[in-house]
Structure 1
Amino acid sequence: MSARLILVTVLAVAIAAPLAAQQVQLSPPEVENARNSFIGQTNTAGVLVRSGPGDNYYPTMRLDKGAELTVVGIRFDWLKIVPPEGTMCYVSKLFVDRYGDGSAGRINADDVNIRVGSSIVNQKTAVVGKLSAGQDVKILGEEDEYFRIVPPANTYVYVNRKFVDPVRALGPVAVSEPRGRTRAPQDQGGQTAGPASTQPVQPPSTQEAAVAEAEAKLEQLLQSEKALATSAWEQVPVEQLLADYKALADGGLLPAAKQAIVADRLAKLPALLERKQRSQASEKASRDAADKLKTLAAEGDELSERLKDGPKTYVAIGELQVSTVQLGGGQLFRLVDPESKRTVCYLRGDPQKMGATGRLVAVNGSQSTDRRLGDRMKLVDATEVVEVDRTQLYEKVVAEMMPVSLRRTEAQVSTENR
């Protein structure tokens, strides 16, 4: 062999080696099918389907919100799904013999790579399965050295589980041969003995009974939720539902697909519980407020009866003074204790109606507060201002707000009641 030929061979190997390594990295890992599958539905628009279980695998297509998917396995946060409609796969033309009208082809070699394509990026490097000699494929078109084909059986793609809500459980997932072992079994004479077994894996009988019990419990919980969908809050046992779902999750008996349903309910029920608790707290506050109003109304009625033939009631009594405080450019007055001069309340009204300051007056009007006057200080919009005499207090006039120096002592009350 000449030196030149040896050099060319070495260069070819050096170039091919990293390319081969790159192809291995681009192919998704083997993800086992779950014992049971389920139907999921995308919960947002623009969900990316990827060629492998991770964000580092290229996207193959986008899904609209509400698209239904068949989930057959789970790997961490990624769901293994049957390729949705519109998924494209590719196989090398070298290993396909067309027949009929050209829309079908037959594989002419073993271990032929199935590559998944993309409607988003120009890639078709991820190997998602193998074909054996004699298998048929449906041809959709040609692209470079590949035929574009309908995804064969036992090829899968992936979607992030946070974008999929479980809808309903399906039956057992057929156990397929590992990737690269799709050739049909042969009998001793070398003839094809029939398709590979697709019976679900059967657990031991005791385990099967426990799994069946757990699955029945899950179905019961799901049916209970549906029945309670229109019930009043107090009739929805969210706390018990959470406890039951948690028990199923901790038991670890459910197949992966149904565990995903349990995980979904455990993720969503706490928000429902919070809503229930807020609703109950709001209802209790409303009941308490109604009871308080009834109590106040009863007390008011009792007071009205007691004061029906008694003295006239005013909002406040005190010595009238001009205030140095101004609100909105208007002049304020204040009622003070005749002895301590401490403010009883502030007044707002027509200065002409207020009259001379320094007098003991009784005032009626609506009450309010203003933070600029202090949180506890009342502001009265005076509609009635009358001068009173101290001798009239408690016999002809009383007030809600009285100066300390004008309040009756217990001894005075006792003397007056004799």
Structure 2
Amino acid sequence: MQAQARDQLGVWVRLISGCLAAAVLIEGSAFAQEASPSSAPVSASSAPAAVSQTASYWLRVSGDQVNLRSRADRNSLPVARLERDQVLQAVGMEYGWHRVYAPEGVFSFVSGRYVDQTSETEGIVSTSSGALRVRVGSELSEVDPMQTEVQKLLPRGAKVNILGRRGEWLKIVPPDGVFFYVADDCVERITPEVAAALQAKAVRAPRADGAVAATRPAEGPDLSGPWGQRLALVEAAIEAEGRKDALEQSWTKSIAELRPIAEQRTDPAVALLAQRWISRLEERIADQAALRAMRQVAGAGQRNQAQFEREMEQIRKVRERADSPSELIARGQLLESFALRGGVSPPYRLIDPITRAVVAYLEFPLGSDIKPAEYLGLYVGVAGDKRTDEAFGADVITVSRLEVLLSRGPGGPQTAPARTSP
């Protein structure tokens, strides 16, 4: 994850939102892109920087088309689809998610402007000052690398392994210290012997284009019968549709054609396979909505570099203010939340406007005079009762006080009046 149109970027009076738009879209800015100060924040996917090999263990993917994500958070960017029986090497747990090494085919982005290629597959970081930002890449969509999180900072002289190129961006093997995340309920722990046996079978890796594979969701039955032949025709249509861009794909017709095959009882094995296809395509439709919202941010306007740096300086000053922890227990940009657990969702979330990582989810008690919708997109601090909720991958705060920490525009008050629940 790896930014939404709902953030209402581009409005000057919402200083943080404008700053975020610039960070996402000013590709030519060395400050925003590559010449990063060594103290710049980095995505949680890169921590810890090193993990003892003896602490690792093995996982088998127990579901079909399981999401591999950039952070232990449902709002983070899915970077690849994992196939059933695929083997992963994990190094720990975080909020109910396993932290794993990058499987084959998963990649990160770096700007090609700051890499001297020594061969087709190798290069050396050549920044004149600062460090080179490594950003999240995704096999599932053609995301703008400037929209994705920073995973790691590489110093001048660091080596990178190059997998390919997209325009001015290089796809590289995620460097040491960068990890990815898979939900605990989608995998099971296995012994090293079982892992070796599964790897020996050369389980198919995720497709680099993110398309729904023509390979069946599970080991398939004989399709020579009439129902099997109907299913084979639908699979051919699915393969053709899967070659399109993710947002141009339409699965409604295929699902409609699969339903009578899944409901018939003449050939139960074919019926089961058709039902698995339906489940996979319904998941694909849900992912399209998230991808569509992510791409909308690309329509925001650009800001010039000087203005961007002034705004970033204001953010840093606010983040460094010595507020007492007992008063404000969390700070960040206030956005709506779309994380769901059992149909229940905290209505709002705080994110770090620079790294885009979720700081906390927010709840407001009934009868509160705080109207959070009025502060969407602003950089705020909150006080209240905090609890840890592993299902959401972050703390949940019941807010009793909300304070705007940045001015609403030039000449405006530095801090807006705080709102407190009765």
TM-score range with shorter-chain normalisation? 0.3 to 0.5
- Bigger proportion of residues as helix: 1
Of structures 1 and 2, the one with the larger relative CO (CA 8 A, separation 6+) is 2
- Bigger proportion of residues as strand: 1
Which TM-score applies when normalising by structure 2?
0.34
Larger Rg: 1
Which TM-score applies when normalising by structure 1?
0.34
